[in-house]
Amino acid sequence: MGIRIVVSSFAGNWREGISIQTLAFLEIDFFALAVLLLIYLNIRHSSGQYIEQKIFMILILADAIILILDMGMWLLDGKTGFLIREIYILVTAFYYVFNPLICMIWYFYVDYKIYKSANRLKRVMIPMLVPAAVNAALSLASIFSGYMFYFDAENIYYRGSLFPLMAVISLFYLVYAMILIVAKKNLLEKREFFIMLVFGIPPLVGGVVQSLVYGLSLVWICATFSALIIFINMQNNQLYTDHLTGLFNRRQLDSYLRQNSQAMEDRMLAGVMIDLNAFKQINDQYGHNIGDQALQHTAEILTKTFRERDFIARYGGDEFLVLMTVHDCKVLKAAVQRLRENVKRFNEQSETPYQISLSIGYDCRSVESEQDVNDFLKHIDQLMYEDKQRRQPA
């Protein structure tokens, strides 16, 4: 692994010191581990989506393990001494086992991020484990056979004849995840689509380069960089997204109103204020977990109903707000009608112990109107209240 320059002496039978190349990669691996530790410490107590966060934590752990194994390989290569060869063989075997595993975990993260379904994740898990299991079996068998890797008499590591198989399996998971992201981009917000697509690029490029250029160790450093991108996105989501429903929160509403104030003056603004009826009764009768579920189902119905470019937020408690720019108020009326139809369809098909019922206030503000945005929000809130009153039994 490069020209060895002795920079220190070792006790025992270690014949050579650490080369400059080895030191450089050790420093890079150590820096990547420090980044992963900081990410872990920042998200371990956060209140994001539980399954999504758990998969991401496993991804970070797997990346950390493989970086430690990579450091071990750099330290042990070409060294001799008591049990050094045996330890090096085991470290290398597990390094090969973990290579596709971290790529597989990334695929699971993508699958859950897109479909938000734990049941689907369970269904795809077994078939997706097969390539990784084949690689693990061959990697462990290489301890005796040298299929994936082997060592010469000087205890120097070499790739085996089946090394390309491990690389192909790892790339399979990364490429398949990218294909899934592109194919299902309509199920992702635009910002999340680009961030998740970008995630796979650094380890994909690093993996290809590392496979072609012997002696480089890039892929998992690149994976750490990608994990940092996802972490930053998660932090932004926690700042501007309601953690329960996944919709925007009041903070993002304020930001949206500031950034689009001029556009709202130049185009017709449409707004919908929505209240989940009988929310307190659902909480009291079935418990807060079921109440939270009712809010989540309502958010899903709203996301399904309105356009991707429309602004949908949890306004507070059991209230939601949708803001749209339209050329004709008929667009708003059609959207409200879709909303009512989707609520009806949900109640017909769902097996929940409650029915979703919404009070809705909606209107359009013309370009010529002198009403400011805050007054407009109060206006549709009053319309929603009046609709709620009409639904009350006499």
% of the chain exceeding 90 in pLDDT: 53
Q: Say what the pLDDT of residue 393 is.
A: 61
Asked if residue 234 and residue 195 are part of one domain, the reply reads yes
Q: Where are the alpha helices (DSSP H) in the chain?
A: 20-43, 50-76, 84-115, 118-145, 163-183, 190-199, 201-212, 219-240, 250-259, 261-266, 279-286, 288-305, 329-349, 373-391
Asked, for residue 14, whether it belongs to a domain, the answer is no
Nearest residue to 102 via CA among 166, 161, 153: 166
Asked if residue 36 and residue 169 are part of one domain, the reply reads yes
**Is residue 14's pLDDT more than 50?**
no
Q: Say what the pLDDT of residue 47 is.
A: 52
Residue 139 — pLDDT band, cuts 50, 70, 90?
Answer: very high
Beta-carbon contacts of 21 under 8 Å, excluding residues fewer than 6 positions away, are 1, 2, 3, 215
Asked if residue 205 and residue 296 are part of one domain, the reply reads no
Asked, for residue 59, whether it belongs to a domain, the answer is yes
Asked if residue 270 and residue 220 are part of one domain, the reply reads no
Asked, for residue 157, whether it belongs to a domain, the answer is yes
Nearest residue to 185 via CA among 108, 110, 295: 110
66 close to 95: Cβ distance less than 8 angstroms: yes
Q: Of 181, 213, 240, which residue is a domain's last? A: 240
Asked if residue 273 and residue 136 are part of one domain, the reply reads no
Q: Say what the pLDDT of residue 333 is.
A: 95
User: CA triplet 228, 234, 237: central angle to 5 degrees?
Assistant: 145
Query: What is the average per-residue pLDDT within 219-239?
Result: 80
CATH of the domain at 117: 1.20.1070
Asked if residue 363 and residue 279 are part of one domain, the reply reads yes
Q: Of 240, 271, 301, which residue is a domain's last? A: 240
Query: What is the average per-residue pLDDT within 208-228?
Result: 77
**Is residue 206's pLDDT more than 80?**
no
Asked if residue 382 and residue 293 are part of one domain, the reply reads yes
Asked if residue 217 and residue 84 are part of one domain, the reply reads yes
The C-alpha atoms of residue 341 and residue 75 are separated, in whole angstroms, by 65
Asked if residue 47 and residue 102 are part of one domain, the reply reads yes
Q: Say what the pLDDT of residue 261 is.
A: 67
Q: Say what the pLDDT of residue 4 is.
A: 38
Name residue 311's beta-bridge partners: 323
Q: Of 183, 216, 240, which residue is a domain's last? A: 240
CATH of the domain at 287: 3.30.70.270
Asked, for residue 228, whether it belongs to a domain, the answer is yes
Residue 265 — pLDDT band, cuts 50, 70, 90?
Answer: low
CA 367 to chain centroid: 40
Asked, for residue 9, whether it belongs to a domain, the answer is no
Nearest residue to 272 via CA among 216, 317, 310: 310
Number of domains, the chain: 2
Asked, for residue 281, whether it belongs to a domain, the answer is yes
> What H or E segment, with its residue span, contains residue 273?
strand 268-276
Strand arrangement, sheet containing 358-365: 311-316, 319-326, 268-276, 358-365
Q: Say what the pLDDT of residue 145 is.
A: 93
> What H or E segment, with its residue span, contains residue 309?
none
Q: Say what the pLDDT of residue 263 is.
A: 62
Asked, for residue 230, whether it belongs to a domain, the answer is yes
Asked, for residue 13, whether it belongs to a domain, the answer is no
Query: What is the average per-residue pLDDT within 137-160?
Result: 94
pLDDT digits (tens, 9 = 90+) for 66-123: 999 999 998 999 888 889 999 999 999 999 999 999 899 999 999 998 887 888 999 9
Asked if residue 89 and residue 33 are part of one domain, the reply reads yes
Asked if residue 184 and residue 92 are part of one domain, the reply reads yes
**Angle 118-145/84-115 helices, nearest 10 degrees?**
160
Asked if residue 170 and residue 305 are part of one domain, the reply reads no
What domain range is 182 assigned to?
A: 20-240
The C-alpha atoms of residue 105 and residue 263 are separated, in whole angstroms, by 42
